[in-house]
Structure 1
Amino acid sequence: MNFFPILLLLSLLSKPAFGQQQQQQHEQEDDIICPDESLTTYLHALIDVLYANGLNTFEQLIVHHSEIDSGYEFLHNMYTSGQKMTLLVPTDQAFQQSGIVSPFNGLTDDWGTELGELHCLQGEWTYDKLPNTGHGIASTSLLLVNEMNSTDVNTNASQALVLERGGDNQVIVDGWYGNATSWSGPLDLSSAGGVLGNLVILPIDQVLSFPPSLSTALSTPGLTNMSSALSVVGKSEEVEQLTEGGFTIFVPVDSSWSDDIKDVMVDQNKAPGLVGNHYTTKYSLFSSAWTGPSTFELDVESGEKITIKVNEDGSSSVVLGEIEAKIIRSDVTLDNGVLHMIDKVLYPTNPKSSTTESDASTATSSTPSTASSTSTSATIPDGSKPGSNGNTDANGKAVIPDSGSNSASRFGISWLTLGSAIIISWITL
């Protein structure tokens, strides 16, 4: 007699159904105890809401945070923030697609905590709180000092995220490695009895990825000439290193590098000033700092002052002397700063211009007076070492290559999974 079918049936009958397994796991998780009794109550209410809405992986991640020192500090800070916080919660499917599943064996304590901090925004960021046109800049709970790289920097600067309105009252989180979209409005927290009064919970369809390094961004077709220019003057590593305020860089698209500009780049006395006209390592300046129609003046690494001009049609430009470059995409968040794409190189080739050709090493950049109202940007390095992504001549010296057919474009990168390959797709503006 074959007993296998009988044994299999008995085995299946003895196991709880999938829903029962989820319920048992939730009940075990609901036993979490923190030294702070009020925080324990807060976390119980939070995981109950997440469980009730089928957001089981994030619920389990909250429990995981509570069991490690860095995670407990993150949860405690969220609870005691004294301000409204928006929690972006990826769906279970989004976590599975990213390879992040309980019991989170692949997550280091620091990396896992920082992933949670990246999804926790300061302030209320729902559809009706976003601007009708353009985008909003939200500060996350991820601080510069929480970075995995070693640093003595003491700052309260936070990684920023770009959010904008989508269709059907959706919120879109605009990222280098692809966009995340809310699949419904904020969760109903009334069942928590007011315990979660400082939270807005917004489910999203992707796990947010950490922004890339500057060197990674400048390896994108259409932006590589700036990488070569930084290499020519030996500034590739300096610009993207971790600083107190991050960095701001205006990157001309490859098609804007004329032969006259390339001739300047081979002059060792002029090249540093040209490159220094495009960046500062003193602060991360996002577009929320300038509103208009108005103008906004700031210092850059070369010692020059550039002006950001907000036009009546809502577009923005960067002005240096007689050069006016249109900002064709603003607020590209990087792992330690922000990038704005422009359509001209900020350097006059007219010898009558009064613009000086100062060396970047003599610059005395300062933070603009309104920069305190902006978010500074930093997050986990991607592990790649800064370096030249440009070309070299016969002697091995970095040079600016021909731009070819590259044109001003708005780029997007589809992120498949954490650690997966990326696919670059170009969408013409």
Structure 2
Amino acid sequence: MRLNYLIYFLTIFSINFKFGLSQLDDDLICPNEALTEYLTNLLDILFSNGLTTFEQLLVHYSENDLGYEFLNDLYNSNQKLTLLVPTNQAFNEIGINSPFIGLTEDRGMELGELHLLQGDWTSGSLPQLGHGIASTSLLIANELNQTDSKSNAYQAVTLEKGNDNSIIIDGWWGNSTSWNGPLDLSSSNGLLDNLMILPIDQVLSFPPSLSTALQSPGLTNMSSALNVIGKSQELEQLTENGFTIFVPLDSVWDENVKNLMTDSNKAMKIIQNHYTRSYTLFSPGWTGSDSMILTVESGEQLIVSNKQDGSNSVKFGDIEANIIRSDITLNNGVMHIIDKILFPTSSSNSSETPTSSIPSTAQPTGTTSASIPDGQDTDKDGGKAVIPDASGSSSASKSQVSVQLLVCVFTFWFILFR
């Protein structure tokens, strides 16, 4: 069965080779049979662990140019990568199955890149409390290229330590949990040394837009406030730096704040105290030290602190708000939920801690918590969040990559079966 599968995989390459040969340069450098051997070992590992839908998805990638590019980049990566592989059941639950008829070429590759993390991520590499933030291999500009940005910002995912060496990927539509540790790759005899393969129980979804996130119960006042000052679209526009926004719970928007919002100058200042478009700040950016200073859109400075009890806060002047949930990854940015308005009002010094109707995921002891209920993202272009922590690697054009792979795999096939 495995030999027949390999023959099918190689036949796909050889069929396309016949039509692409005329495009080759005489001095083309070929990675020879090593690429095919690498992919064959990867398919065998997936098959032997029952992850056959993802295995078939990789074969599907070999049938189009963007897929060739993804497979080639996977093989040629000089850094360690963590491949999150959804189980067959996870794919089946969202209707993605072979022969992948409804999966377009663009979306198919983006799905693969979304599940390919830069770096070696294990339970042991994550903090006991809080989150780790991993860049995927999905470059924002791949899909949301609606501006002139030449961003090297990547889609980010939030990771938490689970039980028994597992990892929890904290997503907007729900959490995905890994198996208890990565797959054993020893049978590949070192060919897959640049990979760690971590099976997960859900297919990752693209994060929603900010406007969608702010329709969640308990957060809608911020949506109204952004519309009042006319900054919703500006904040969501694709940029290299993304954005960071601190969103107060609805329960803290009292009459004092609402009265201030009727003054256009004060309204602008109030809302711009809560976000910046200069940087996408995830919690590891401030938990590694006692505090950090973040300049926001109003020109004011916020102090974001990691407190001794494990909780986090953001301070503006004498006002200190608890961060009751951090690292909510959005389209082109990140959202943190707080329990105070970052602007002086007559009720700013109230000692009462507001609560949220939003249920919670696990948070450090001593913090009020909040989470986001399931919903539907109405942004037809899909969602991405950015973290500018890696540079894009140069690669050949799609046609060059695909033809190069075809020639090399054809050569290896000829050697094996002549």
Q: Same fold (TM over 0.5)?
A: yes
- Asked if 2 retains the 8 angstrom alpha-carbon contact of 1:242 and 1:336, the reply is yes
2:337 counterpart (336, 341, 356):
341
Q: C-alpha offsets along residues 243-279 of structure 1, whole Å, 9 cap, x if unaligned?
A: 1111110000101112111111111111111100011
Q: Distance in 1 between matches of 2:46 and 2:356?
A: 50
Residues 133, 32 of structure 1: alpha-carbon distance in 2 compared, 3 angstrom cutoff: farther
**Match of 1:284, as an amino acid?**
T
Query: For residue 29 of structure 1, what is the amino acid of its counterpart?
Result: F
Matches within 5 A, 1:324-339: 324-339=320-335
Equivalent pair of 1:29/1:60 in contact (CA under 8 Å): no
Question: Residue 352 and residue 262 in structure 1: after superposition, are their counterparts in 2 closer, same or farther (change >3 A)?
Answer: closer
Are residues 1:411 and 2:371 paired? Answer: yes
Which runs of 5 or more structure 2 residues have no equivalent in the other structure? 18-29, 359-367, 380-418
Deviation by residue 1:160-206 (Cα, 9 ceiling, x = unmatched): 11111112222111101011111342111111111110000011111
The answer to whether the Cα contact below 8 Å between 2:256 and 2:346 also exists between their aligned partners in 1 is no
Provide the rounded CA distance (Å) in 1 between the counterparts of 2:347 and 2:186.
68
C-alpha distance in structure 2 between counterparts of 1:269 and 1:103, whole Å: 57
**What amino acid is the match of 2:188?**
A
Aligned counterpart, 1:43: 39
Secondary structure of the structure 2 residue equivalent to 1:270: helix
AA partner of residue 108 (structure 2): G
Q: Give the deviation of 1:48 after TM superposition.
A: 1.5
Closer/same/farther in 2, CA of residues 86 and 29 from structure 1, 3 Å limit: same
Over residues 322-356 of structure 1, what are the superposed CA-to-partner deviations in whole Å (9 max), with x where a residue is unaligned?
Answer: 11111001100012110000000101126999xxx
Equivalent residue runs for 1:15-54 within 5 Å: 24-25=4-5, 27-29=7-9, 31=11, 33=13, 36-37=31-32, 38-54=34-50
2:233 counterpart (221, 237, 246): 237
Quote the Cα distance in structure 2 between the aligned partners of 1:143 and 1:321: 37
Query: CA distance change for structure 1 residues 119 and 405 in 2, over 3 Å: closer, same or farther?
Result: closer
Query: Of the candidates 290, 297, 300, which is equivalent to residue 294 of structure 1?
Result: 290
The sequence identity of aligned pairs, in percent, is: 59
How far is the alpha carbon of 1:67 from its aligned partner? 2.4
Aligned-residue offset at 1:75? 2.2
Q: CA deviation at 1:40?
A: 2.3
1:243/1:282 contact within 8 Å kept: no
C-alpha distance in structure 2 between counterparts of 1:351 and 1:188, whole Å: 58
Alignment of 1:200-219 (within 5 A): 200-219=196-215
For 1:155-174, what aligned pairs fall within 5 Å after superposition?
155-174=151-170
Taking a change above 3 Å as real, the CA distance of residues 148 and 40 of structure 1, as seen in their structure-2 partners, is: farther
Q: Could you say if the C-alpha distance between residues 222 and 201 of structure 1 is closer, same or farther in structure 2, counting changes exceeding 3 Å?
A: same
Letter in 2 for 1:89: V
Change (3 A) 1:31 1:226: same
Cα distance in 1 for partners of 2:118, 2:375 equals 25
**Residue identity in the other structure for 2:284:** S
Q: Are 2:130 and 1:134 aligned?
A: yes
Contact 1:181 1:204 in 2 (8 A): yes
When residues 228 and 404 of structure 1 are mapped into structure 2, their CA distance, relative to the original with a 3 A threshold, is farther
- Deviations for 1:43-85, whole angstroms, at most 9, x for unmatched residues? 1221111112111111111122222222222222222221110
Paired residue secondary structure (2:164): helix
Q: Quote how far apart the aligned CAs of 1:153 are.
A: 1.1
TM-score (normalised: structure 1): 0.76
Q: What is the TM-score normalised by the length of structure 2?
A: 0.78
Q: Following the alignment from structure 1 to structure 2, what is the Cα–Cα distance between the partners of residues 411 and 178?
A: 10
Between stretches 316-325 and 181-190, larger displacement belongs to 181-190
1:272 and 2:268 equivalent?
yes
Q: Flag structure 1 segments of 5+ consecutive residues without an equivalent.
A: 1-19, 354-402, 420-429
Distance 1:335 1:347 in 2: 26
For 1:305-326, what per-residue CA distance to the aligned partner results, in whole angstroms no more than 9, with x for missing partners? Answer: 1111221112111111111111
Q: Which residue of 2 aligns with 1:246?
A: 242
Q: How big is each residue's C-alpha offset from its partner over 1:137-159, in whole Å with a ceiling of 9 and x where there is no partner?
A: 11100111112453321111111
2:51 corresponds to: 55
Cα displacement (A) at 1:41:
2.2
Tell me how far apart the structure 2 counterparts of residues 170 and 351 of structure 1 sit (CA, whole Å): 44
- Asked if 2 retains the 8 angstrom alpha-carbon contact of 1:187 and 1:200, the reply is yes
Residue 145 of structure 1 is matched in structure 2 by: 141
Aligned residues: 350
Contact 2:249-2:356 within 8 A present in 1 as well: no
Q: Which residues in structure 2 correspond to 1:351-366 (within 5 Å)?
A: none
Letter in 1 for 2:238: L
Distance in 1, matches of 2:133 and 2:348, equals: 40
The alpha-carbon distance between structure 1 residues 69 and 36, as it changes in their structure 2 partners (threshold 3 A), is farther
Supply the distance in 2 between the matched residues of 1:243 and 1:214 (Cα, whole angstroms).
14
Stretch moving more, 405-414 or 76-85: 405-414
Match of 2:148, SS state, is coil
CA distance in 1 between partners of 2:322 and 2:348 (Å) = 23
SS of aligned partner of 2:287: coil
**Cα 1:207/1:292, change in 2 over 3 Å:** closer
The CA deviation at 1:282 is: 1.7
Residue in 2 that maps onto 1:65: 61
SS in 1 for 2:238: coil
Preserved CA contact (<8 Å) 2:161 2:168: yes
Give the letter for the 1:28 counterpart. Y
TM-superposed CA distance for 1:27, in Å, is 4.6
Pair 1:351–1:128, CA change in 2 (3 A): closer
Which one of the candidate residues 160, 172, 175 is aligned to 1:176? 172
Compared CA separation, residues 248 and 352, structure 1 to 2 (3 A): closer
Deviation (angstroms), 1:31: 4.8
Q: 1:139 to 1:352 in 2, by over 3 A?
A: closer
Amino acid aligned to 1:49? I
Query: Once structures 1 and 2 are overlaid, which stretch shifts more, 206-215 or 64-73?
Result: 64-73
